[in-house]
């Protein structure tokens, strides 16, 4: 049975490996996206990485930065063999519930523009684009962008 829980610091290397495997080979950005085990330990220590686990195996993870005004998500990673099995959706829904529990109405996520499949994943779960941000300047990145997407959680009054 699959469960979602907070990552433990003794799992930092496994979480980092999951993140790296998930993004490796997708594009040149994967090579630039370098997290150290120390950085992952710091995020885990803050209680901000959720993992999906089944029978002791890590299936996916997500970093969640809970704030009262807007929660930010990043590093949604799912192991190759678990893609399209509901792991990503389960992680996302858990992050949204945690957000609602602190009375925060908005969730934001930045998606790399070269990933239409990930953009579609979030669109299919109620996220809408609200900002296009140019990727930090490099030789290879002149046409690359982050697409910031937002979702207003239910049970909160509309801000506008």
Task: Write the class of the CATH domain 3-109.
Answer: alpha beta
- List all residues 6 or more positions away from 92 whose beta carbon is below 8 Å from its beta carbon: 62, 73, 76, 125
Q: Would you state the pLDDT for residue 133?
A: 85
pTM of the model as a whole: 0.85
Task: Report the chain's terminal Cα–Cα distance, integer Å.
Answer: 41
Per-residue pLDDT tens, the chain, 160 aa: give them.
889 999 999 999 999 999 888 876 555 554 555 578 888 888 888 888 999 999 989 999 999 999 889 999 988 888 877 788 889 999 999 999 999 988 899 999 988 777 788 899 999 999 999 998 887 766 655 667 889 999 999 765 544 4
- The CA-CA-CA angle for residues 43, 49, 55, to 5°, reads 130
């Amino acid at each position: 049975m699959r469960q979602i829980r907070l990552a433990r610091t003794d799992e930092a290397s496994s979480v980092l490996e999951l993140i790296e495997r998930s993004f490796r080979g997708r594009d040149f950005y994967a090579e630039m996206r370098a997290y150290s085990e120390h950085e992952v330990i710091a995020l885990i220590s803050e209680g901000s990485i959720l993992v999906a686990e089944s029978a002791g195996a890590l299936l996916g993870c997500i970093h969640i930065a809970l704030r009262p005004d807007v929660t930010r998500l990043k590093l949604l990673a799912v192991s190759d063999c678990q893609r399209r099995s509901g792991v990503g959706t389960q992680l996302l829904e858990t992050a949204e519930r945690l957000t609602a529990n602190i009375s925060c109405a908005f969730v934001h996520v930045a998606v790399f523009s070269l990933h239409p499949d990930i953009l579609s994943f979030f669109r299919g779960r109620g996220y809408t684009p609200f900002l296009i941000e140019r990727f930090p300047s490099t030789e290879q990145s002149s046409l690359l962008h982050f697409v910031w997407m937002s979702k207003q959680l239910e049970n909160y009054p509309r801000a506008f």
